[in-house]
Structure 1
Amino acid sequence: MSQRDPLAARRARAIRAKEWAQIWLDPSTFGLVVLMPLILMFLFGSAVTLDVHGTRTGVVDMDHTRASRELVNNLARNSYFAVREGQSVAELEAGLKSGELRGIVVIPDGFEHGLVRLEPLDIQLITDGSQVNTATFLTGHLRGALKEWVEAEARELDIPVTPVLKILPRYTYNPGLESRYMLVPGAIGIVMAMIGSLLTALIMAREYERGTMEGLLATPISIPTLVISKLLPYYALGLASTAICVAVAVWGYGLPFRGSILALFMIASAFLAAVLGQGLLISAGTKNQFVSTQFALLSGFLPSLLLSGFLFEIDSMPRAIQWLTYIVPARYLIPSLQSVFLVGDVWKLFLPNIAILLLFGLFFFLRVTKAIRRRIA
């Protein structure tokens, strides 16, 4: 045993050195590990936003009184609206049809008269129903803006208003309700899922295409040691890519980092174990780099983007799809990343997620070793 262990360790180091040499000689790896995270972080941090501002809204004032003009000016000052006035609904409907406008607010004739007499006021909102989210946001923001304006106008005119319950919200961890606080940590998870699966999806396939797999399998080293030796360099690259994303999130987008580096390292390591193993299994199964890349995108990137809770709430999905999300590793990563950035170290959340991710990694590791043994047989 004492003679075999040093040789086995030396062979494992040789395999790792071979992988590092291939990585160093392959310029696409630099693009995958450094450039792609930067591009994706820019897209998700800057180009993609759930915050609605400057919604193009038409306004038709049919009352032409002081109160109606005050309301129009109030909407124009509101950052949620980009107001464009028109003389009639028919004039603005062409803009709604072409997409130049997202909605039309119609202030009726007799608006000020009804306001003074405390009569019910009906303000019409015509929205573009083909843009469901925008129409919903526009309706909600208009309702809030009208409520605030009516209360302010009533105080100015000394008109009594019906007392209502007033909600005083307090938003913890994200006081400004900025969507980037949710999107950027999630984007890190998407980057890790994509890069982790793509990095290793090419390993075995490249060996098969170059005809070096048979020689590699003939190496006097155990299959688990072979797999681990080939994975370790890509694990280091995955951590480096994660570090780049975290640096961009904190110093580029100003996100707070309230957790610990230890928690982030444990979460990232567990997730990389899962996605690297997944990519390696794809590579061992397809034996073709192009096909491996396509499978990695379909099984790694798309489920992570759509079924992890990153963009769409899992609770709002159909029940069958909710069950499907349990086999998506990113489902367990993204809530943990959001917590480690915005909340802190919530080990009650982290530990179960880390354990599940490690089980994913173990499953893929066993499947890869079994596939290689079958190849040898």
Structure 2
Amino acid sequence: MRIRGLIRKEFLQIIRDPSSISIAFILPIILLLIFGYGVNLDAKHIKLGVVQQQPSVESQSFVSRFHRSEYFNTRNYLTVNDGQNAMQTGDIQALLILKSNFAREFHQTDAAPVQLLVNGVDSNTANLINGYVQGTWAEWLIAYGDARGIEFSQPVEQLTRIWFNSEINSRYFLVPGLIAIIMTLIGALLTSLVIAREWERGTMEALLVTPVSIQELLLSKVIPYFVLGMGGMLLSLVMALFLFEVPLRGALAWLLLSSAVFLWVALSMGILISTVGKTQFVAGQIAIIVTFLPAFLLSGFIFDIGSTPLFIQWVTHIVPARYFVALLQTEFLAGDILWVILPNLAALVLMGLVLTLIVLKKSYKRLD
């Protein structure tokens, strides 16, 4: 009966507290809209300048490939100097120069009748532009040879097939990872702030002098925010599937189980933070530094963990969001791949057990 009353009291507090509802339901909507529509890692509509030093049928055929592509917005320049000036002023991102001997030497494997100048300030975009141009060149060579019965000798024939995200849509990559960030905020930040608020208002002291055990008190804090967190997760899932049309190739049961385990870890972290910082300001700062920033930067949400220094890769193993992001991306884009799901899920379970034991050890019914 006591635990039921405490849980009811927490639910009533949540209903009366607009900030809890906002963090659980309004914040996910805002973050998903910002990242889903505002952040795009795809390189499309690239501003490409083209210089044909001696126009020919072959050079026009090659350039027409870029005119018809959704990835490029082409601009023609008469001279190389004009194109380079346009790059310096930021009017174009890359300059494609077709040399005067293009028509004569493009079929020679040791010739380079095409020069590409790329703005390398953004290295990721520069690499994408270089790859797109090389791919367009290879496709045009094949099409040109097939139309004329010419076989171009190539040392390697490249056949490319994109797995898991065949549309190469960065939204499919970002939205599942963002769910991990949202649940980190709901679980760790919200829980730590709410408990710290009770310390500030003196209501926690009133609870500590009651016959309620510390286990009952902690459980009454966890259950309502677990329900709130899963509600926020379901809202994020609905938006991902129906608004952003991210495919869900795995079983919903595995996704919900993974989310529940991660939320358990996040709630445990929030309660542990509240035992250290008993004011909302301190608890909020600790939660951002310890949970949100690592989840954002070291989970693989945006940056590939494998491309980071070895020391950083080791550090990511203590970041719970790393395992949850891997689970989300696997469930959404690849499916029920158990040799990926089970190890990551086991790591989260282990973290949850360790954090729960620490919370129980650090929590006691004393005011000091």
TM-score under structure 1 normalisation? 0.91
Distance 1:27 1:374, change over 3 A: closer
Shift, 1:122, TM fit: 2.9
Partner of 2:144: 153
* 2:20 is the alignment partner of 1:39: no
Shift, 1:143, TM fit: 0.8
Q: What is the distance in 2 between the residues matched to 1:198 and 1:95? A: 48
**AA aligned opposite 1:81:** F
**AA aligned opposite 2:195:** M
Give the 5 Å matches for 1:170-249. 170-249=161-240
Distance 1:255 1:111, change over 3 A: same
Shift, 1:270, TM fit: 0.7
Q: Is the 8 A contact 1:102 1:134 kept in 2?
A: no
Partner of 1:257: 248
Partner of 1:98: 89
TM-score under structure 2 normalisation? 0.93
Distance 1:321 1:115, change over 3 A: closer
Distance 1:67 1:231, change over 3 A: same
CA-based RMSD of the aligned residues comes to 2.1
Number of residue pairs matched by the alignment: 368
Shift, 1:70, TM fit: 2.1
Q: What is the distance in 2 between the residues matched to 1:276 and 1:314? A: 25
Partner of 1:354: 345
Partner of 1:5: none
Shift, 1:118, TM fit: 7.7
**AA aligned opposite 2:226:** Y
Partner of 1:65: 56
**AA aligned opposite 1:305:** F
Give the 5 Å matches for 1:276-287. 276-287=267-278
Listed as ranges, the gaps of 5+ residues in structure 1 are 1-9
Distance 1:28 1:94, change over 3 A: farther
Shift, 1:313, TM fit: 1.7
Q: Is the 8 A contact 2:326 2:344 kept in 1?
A: no
Pairing partner for 2:281 from 280, 290, 310: 290
Distance 1:341 1:18, change over 3 A: same
Distance 1:95 1:216, change over 3 A: farther
Shift, 1:158, TM fit: 4.3
Shift, 1:88, TM fit: 2.0
Partner of 1:271: 262
**AA aligned opposite 1:70:** S
Q: Is the 8 A contact 1:116 1:159 kept in 2?
A: no
* 2:127 is the alignment partner of 1:136: yes
Q: Is the 8 A contact 2:107 2:152 kept in 1?
A: no
- Aligned-partner SS, 1:202: helix
Give the 5 Å matches for 1:43-58. 43-58=34-49
